[in-house]
């Protein structure tokens, strides 16, 4: 199975923000759309990824810094200040098992899929798990049907 197969089933809805977008607005978009990541786009090109992981890191840092003095709020922090500037990417022709290993090795929950310089979509670890489960279920049904129809000695 290839990454393009997951995108085909999932759809290529892409949620993007600009680098200047305030983190508070990013959180609102992520909550309203029930998504865990945003692609950060500048001048038509992806410049980074923002996921709930980066948001949590900023909140934890802010909480620690509050103990020693005033800290910036989420309405003062820009997406560009906390985004992952060089996210690992997948290509449409990448094998899903390769993508799964990459995501596991690097603890990536969201990976943008790119062809040339175009972002085609974002694959989540959930998308990968669902696709693998569906493929295994299909294979399991086919094997059971094959075994059921196996000729018996008579």
Report whether 147 contacts 39 (CB < 8 A). Answer: no
Report whether 121 contacts 7 (CB < 8 A). Answer: yes
Total-model pTM = 0.81
Per-residue model confidence as pLDDT tens digits over 48-64: 999 999 999 988 888 78
Q: Which of 112, 105, 99 is nearest to 48 (CA)?
A: 112
Per-residue model confidence as pLDDT tens digits over 80-131: 999 999 999 999 999 999 999 999 999 999 999 999 989 999 999 999 988 8
The C-alpha atoms of residue 79 and residue 82 are separated, in whole angstroms, by 6
């Amino acid at each position: 199975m290839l990454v393009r197969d997951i995108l085909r089933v999932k759809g290529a809805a892409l949620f993007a923000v600009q680098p200047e977008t305030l983190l508070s607005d990013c959180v609102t978009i992520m909550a309203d759309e029930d998504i865990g990541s945003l692609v950060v786009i500048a001048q038509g090109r992806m410049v980074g990824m923002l996921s709930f992981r980066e948001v949590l890191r900023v909140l934890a840092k802010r909480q620690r810094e509050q103990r020693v003095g005033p800290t910036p709020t989420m309405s003062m922090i820009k997406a560009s200040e906390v985004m992952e500037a060089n996210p690992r990417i997948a290509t449409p022709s990448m094998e899903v098992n390769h993508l799964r290993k990459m995501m596991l090795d690097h603890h990536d929950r969201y990976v943008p899929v790119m062809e040339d310089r175009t972002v085609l979509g974002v694959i989540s670890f959930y998308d990968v798990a669902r696709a693998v489960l569906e493929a295994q279920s299909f294979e399991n049904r086919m094997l059971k049907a094959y075994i059921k129809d196996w000729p018996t000695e008579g």
